[in-house]
Each structure stands twice: as C-alpha cells, then as structure tokens.
Structure 1
Amino acid sequence: MTTAIICDDEPRLAEALQAQLQSAWPELQIVALGHSGGEALSLVAEHAPDIAFLDIRMPGLSGMEVARQLAGSPDAPHIVFVTAYDAHAMEAFDARAVDYLLKPVKAARLQEAVDRLRATVQARTPAAKPAASVATAVPQFNADMLLALQQLVPAQRKTLKWLNCGQGTEIDVIATSEVLFFQSRDKYTAVVTADKERYIRTPLKELMNELDPDEFWQVHRSSVIRVAAIERVLRDEMGRMQVKMRGSPEKIAVSGAFTGLFKQM
C-alpha cells in the first residue's frame, strides 16, 4: 500500500488536501498530518512514507529546507510541494520535473499529480526506494532541483502589512491583520474590518501579489478573505458555498474553483 504524509501550517488546508486525495486516490493511505517543517521530518522518520506533500512556507523549517535534509537519504519520500506561488514559477517547477500543487488545489491538477505518482510507485521494485528511480514520472527530489527551486521562489517574500485608505481629507492606516475581507466595488477595492469599510484604488489582482498567500485566500474573482477571520462555511438551498466572517453580517460567495479549500468544514 502506498503511504503519504501531508504537512501544511494551515490545518484546514491539510485536511482539505487529505479529503481531495481520498477521493482522487482511494488506495493511498495518509498516515499522518503535520503542521511544521520539524514535524514533517519527525513524521518521515516515524512512518517512512512513500510520498510527502509539503507546504513550502511553514514555521521553523520551510518545505524546501525539509526537502534539503531529506535529499540523498535512501529512504527519502517523493516530494510534492504545496504552494501558493504564481503560475510562472509553477511552469518552471514543471520544467524541472518537481511536482507541485498550487493553492487552492484544483481537482484536475490533483488528478495529474496522482497519475504521475501512481506511475512512479508502480515502477518501483519492492526493495527500492525513490532514490533508485531515475526515469520515472516524478523524479526523486535532489540537490540540483532544490537549487532551481530556491532560485525561483524567494525564501521570504515581503508582504503587505499596512494599508493607507483614504477617507475624505484623512487617511486611515489599517493593519492587514484587522481586515476581514477585500471586495471589488466598481473602480475601487473595499477594505472591510469588523468596525469599518474603507476603499483603495488597488485592484484585487495587484493586491493579491502583495498579500501573504497563507493568510489571504481569493475565494471568488471579486473577493479575498483573511483565513483567520472565517467564522463558518455555509451552503444555501442551491448547494452554493458561502463564507461568514467574524464581525460581519455579510456572506461571501465561494466560486466553484475554490470550494476544495473547505471540504472538511
């Protein structure tokens, strides 16, 4: 039986990926979930999984640092990165034959990863570990690939912490940690907190490039939410998903492409 671990510092994302994998690959046994780089190393040592799904950005050790420590070990699992970095970097990841899942994980992309991983597992001999595989569908992670990843993705990306929001003749300075959600409103973007609503001219698309992707999710083409501010996830009578944020009566629609984030809720 093929085994795997999932490590993501957002428990909801780890659980959502587990649910998606159970659907896409019922035979795969998820032996453990972790939420930090150090925990990932411990779980690999304890369970010796065939596959490790690693978030790139985790507290303590990053996913890349975990992979670096595992590189060269005869018992190292196949590494599948789970990342929120942009599509241009993702194309380069593919070119380097390192598999990845882009947050939010889409079913079709997950199925591609599953098919490639299945082919790799089937190509193994019973006594062999991934390091023995050279020409398989998902090559074993190695130091050269790690170097390529480090060149593509900066270890720490500066993210927006404060917003200057005009209000008449005054400017309100709002910490992103206070924001419940952002929403496109005509030519402006609404910045909504628990006690006020302000507007900025920065489009959502540009704003997403400046926000921490682990803290903010785009759940609709017109809405971005702060994950820590989620109160609950709802479905209406038509089965459409909505998110209720703490401190706001508004229910935010979740488009179909992003519903996988909330499978375990």
Structure 2
Amino acid sequence: MISVVIADDESLARDELTYLLKQCSDVDIVGEATEGAEALALILDLKPDVAFLDIHMPNLDGLAVARKLLEEDLNLMIVFATAYDRHAIQAFEVSAIDYLLKPFDEERVIKTMERIRQRIESPLTAAKGHVLNNALLELLSKMTGDGLSMPKRHTQVSKISKLAVQSEESVVLIDPQDILYVYRENREVFIKTEEKVYLIKATLQTLEEKLASYPFFRPHRSYLVNLNFARELVPWFNGAYTLILNDAKRSKVPVSRAYVKALKDELDI
C-alpha cells in the first residue's frame, strides 16, 4: 500500500482529493492536516510515502513545509496542490515531485499516482530521491528565500488564436473567445459555442492548458467554462451551484461544491 497524507486548509478540496485517491486500491490515506504546522508534525510522525501539500495554507504554507521536510532527508515524495496554471509552475516539472491543479482532475490524479508507483517500483528510487530533493530544495530556496513570488493564475502567456476541430465536411477554426464552455461526456470532449457543438480530439486537461491565457475556469471535473459569458451563480443542491451564461439560450453549467469557493474567488464574490 502507498501511504498518503493530505494537507489542505479547504475541507472541500481535501474531500475531493480524498475521494479521487480512494479510487486507487493501493492508496492508504493515513492522515489529513488543515494547516502547515500540523502537516509538518503529522508527516514527521507518520512518515508516509507521499505528502499532498496545498501551497496556500495558514501558519506555514506548502512551500515552507516542503523545505522543512526535505531538510529532514526523508524518503518522501511531495505533490503540490495549487490553483496556479501549469505555466506559472513549470519549475515543478521535475521527476522528484508532481503537482495537481485545482480544481482537481480525475485523469491528472491517476497520472500522478502512476508516476508515484513507477518511482516506488524503481530499484534506484532512494538514490534518485536524494538527488532530486536537492534540486527541489534549491528551487524552493529561490522561490521563498529570495523574495520571488508565484505569478497569478492568469499570468500573460502566449495565446493560441484558433482551435482546430473536425466537422463533418471540413476542419473548423474556432476563436477561443467564442467558446461558451467545454465538456466531457463519457470519453469524448465537446466544445459548445452559441451556434454549434463540436467534437474535439483532445482531453479536457489538454484544452485547459491550451486555453490558459483566456478566462476559462474548471467548475466541475467534466466542464471548462468561459467566465466572460458568466451571468448568474445560482444555488442548486447540497452545496453545489449552477452557473448561468449570458448566451441566447441561457446555457447552464454545473459547479461542484468542491469548486464553489474557487469560483467565487475568481469572480470576486
């Protein structure tokens, strides 16, 4: 079994990540923490295989906790959870660690667990861990010790001007600003504009990355919505909401309860 500690000050985020990790039969969640100091003490006591650390936590943030843990030279894998897009955290793309973008995506969590299993099964795990942990310590030193800060979620990055989708008779080029929302149905992904619905051969995660420079938000694990079209946020059931768009049909997009707080923050509600 792979022992795991989850540290996040948002209960809905902890619940969502716990749910996704429990879909893996080889994962044992041995502890949860709600702030940095508690996470540090818990991890030092339980010595799990993996620590999932939210970057923004009270008392000690995730970066500070990671620095202290790495100084202990534990045989520990660290996965950051963050609301920043991948362009803002590309420095974390080293094989010693991984990151999960909030709101959590099931496919991305599965990929993270696959990387963790590969690391555990490798006979060179321990040696690799020490070398890569040193690289992570250097990175964290630059980010926290030298006063460098993470860019905000919508940091300016190069924009794609068009998305190519296959229609029945031709390839259609769609302006991302015309997209109302993107959604996944079974294993297929669709783009919805005011005029039409297009099937696209890409994952929701890939489209989220391509559209990172536009005001798209993930309100549900199966949806990606253009916030330029947001009109109303209406309570629905059991803490979930419905986002109503301002297109002619007043399209509705579900907002899972785990993502409500992040959406309200994004909309300054």
User: For the superposition of Structure 1 and Structure 2, which TM-score range results when normalised by the shorter chain?
Assistant: 0.5 to 0.7
Q: How far is the alpha carbon of 1:82 from its aligned partner?
A: 0.3
Unaligned residue ranges in structure 2 (runs of 5+) = 154-179, 181-211, 244-250, 261-269
Q: What CA distance in whole angstroms lies between the structure 1 residues aligned with 2:28 and 2:259?
A: 20
Amino acid across the alignment from 1:70: L
Residue aligning to 1:172: none
Identical-residue share of aligned pairs (%): 29
**Structure 2 length normalisation: TM-score?**
0.56
Letter in 2 for 1:18: T
For residues 165-200 of structure 1, the C-alpha deviation after alignment (integer angstroms, 9 at most, x for no partner) is xxxxxxxxxxxxxxxxxxx9xxxxxxxxxxxxxxxx
- Displacement of 1:120: 1.2
Secondary structure, in 3 states, of the residue corresponding to 1:88? coil
Query: Matches of residues 46-65 of structure 1 in structure 2 within 5 Å?
Result: 46-65=45-64
- Which residue number corresponds to residue 141 of structure 2? 147
Count of aligned pairs: 190
Judged with a 3 Å threshold, the aligned counterparts in structure 2 of structure 1 residues 28 and 261 are, in CA distance, closer, same or farther, namely farther
**Equivalences for residues 1-265 of structure 1 within 5 A:** 1-23=1-23, 25-94=24-93, 98-123=97-122, 132-134=126-128, 139-140=132-133, 142-147=136-141, 149-150=143-144, 154=149, 218=219, 220-222=224-226, 233=237, 243=241, 253-254=253-254, 261=259
Shift, 1:42, TM fit: 1.4
With over 3 angstroms needed to count, the CA separation of the structure-2 counterparts of 1:56 and 1:208, relative to structure 1, is farther
Instruction: Tell me how far apart the structure 1 counterparts of residues 236 and 38 of structure 2 sit (CA, whole Å).
Output: 28
2:147 and 2:108 mapped to 1: Cα distance? 21
* Amino acid of the structure 2 residue aligned with 1:144: E
SS at match of 1:40: helix
CA distance in 1, matches of 2:21, 2:227: 27
1:69 CA drift (Å) = 0.7
Could you tell me how far 1:124 is from its partner in structure 2?
Answer: 5.6
- On the 8 A contact 2:84/2:152 being kept in 1, the answer is no
**Distance in 2 between the 1:217 and 1:230 partners?**
17
Relative distance call for 1:72 and 1:119 in structure 2 (3 A) is same
Q: Alpha-carbon deviation of 1:157?
A: 6.5
